[in-house]
Structure 1
Amino acid sequence: MKKIFILIICGLSMTACNPFLGINSWFNKIDYELEKQNDRQRYDRLKKVEDTARAMVSSYESDKQIYLSMKDENKEIALQAKIRANNTAIQYNQFILKNSYLWKNNIPQDIKNELEIIN
């Protein structure tokens, strides 16, 4: 009977004074810091991809406007602008396909899903 009583008291005291409590909190701090770092990296990667996409759209729109305004006046400049715009559109479409996982079907409104090829 005394042994059972002693075991119960020892069991209660061990649960009250958990020797692993310090180790657990140390691991929790590490997990928290790693999660913060992962979030920061995800944000930085997403920001870089969005900035690149916006720059590509801007370049495409600029070349497209040059093509549309010059196609009747200066064929050579218009052709060069059309080639640049189509090249940008192809690269952009591939870029969006490669990085679409970052948005998880929540693409910002100012980033287009696809740029059209000028014929």
Structure 2
Amino acid sequence: MRDRDNDILLYLLIGALAIFGLWKYSPQITGTLNQKEYEVKKVDEKTSYKIRKEVEDTARSMVSSYKADKLSYEQYKDSKDDEQKSWAQSYKQRANNTATKYNEYILKNSYVWDGNVPEDIEYELEVLK
């Protein structure tokens, strides 16, 4: 009977030490698990066709919008009509807003291409002066 009581006491002691160890080192364990999850997510993002296509489609859409606003700005900027000059300023503002957002977007998502940016996607859009 004494051996059985000693075994139970030993198991309780080991269990208590294990619980204490898990409690004491839970921040480090959580940190390690979070770091691993982050690394897996980054690899997934780099190799995911869906994410690459989404980034490329968004970039192409922004370039298209920018070019349309830039062309409209250039069409009206030298007009003698004040209303058309006002339109030109609005188009310029929209084009510059799009260029700024685009440049930030490309910088943020450049990891998707890993240096191999498709030819039809510009690396940076010019801010109109």
TM norm structure 1: 0.66
Gaps of 5+ in 2: 1-43
Whole-Å separation in 1 of the counterparts to 2:93 and 2:121: 22
Q: Which residue of 1 aligns with 2:106?
A: 96
- Equivalent residue letter for 2:91: A
Whole-Å separation in 2 of the counterparts to 1:105 and 1:84: 29
Q: Which residue of 2 aligns with 1:111?
A: 121
Compute the RMSD of aligned alpha carbons.
Answer: 1.4
Q: Which residue of 1 aligns with 2:23?
A: none
- Equivalent residue letter for 1:114: E
Question: Cα deviations across residues 40-79 of structure 1 (Å, max 9, x unaligned)?
Answer: x710000000000000000000000000000022110000
Question: Cα deviations across residues 1-58 of structure 1 (Å, max 9, x unaligned)?
Answer: xxxxxxxxxxxxxxxxxxxxxxxxxxxxxxxxxxxxx59x710000000000000000
Q: Which residue of 2 aligns with 1:52?
A: 58
- Equivalent residue letter for 2:85: K
Q: Which residue of 2 aligns with 1:86?
A: 96
Q: Which residue of 2 aligns with 1:14?
A: none
The runs of 4+ residues in structure 1 deviating greater than 4 Å are none
Q: How high is the sequence identity, in percent, across the aligned residues?
A: 53
Question: Cα deviations across residues 71-101 of structure 1 (Å, max 9, x unaligned)?
Answer: 0221100000000000000000000000000
Q: Which residue of 2 aligns with 1:42?
A: 48
Structure 2 SS opposite 1:57? helix
Gaps of 5+ in 1: 1-37
- Equivalent residue letter for 1:60: Y
Q: Which residue of 2 aligns with 1:61?
A: 67
- Equivalent residue letter for 1:100: S
TM norm structure 2: 0.61
| Residue correspondences, number | 81
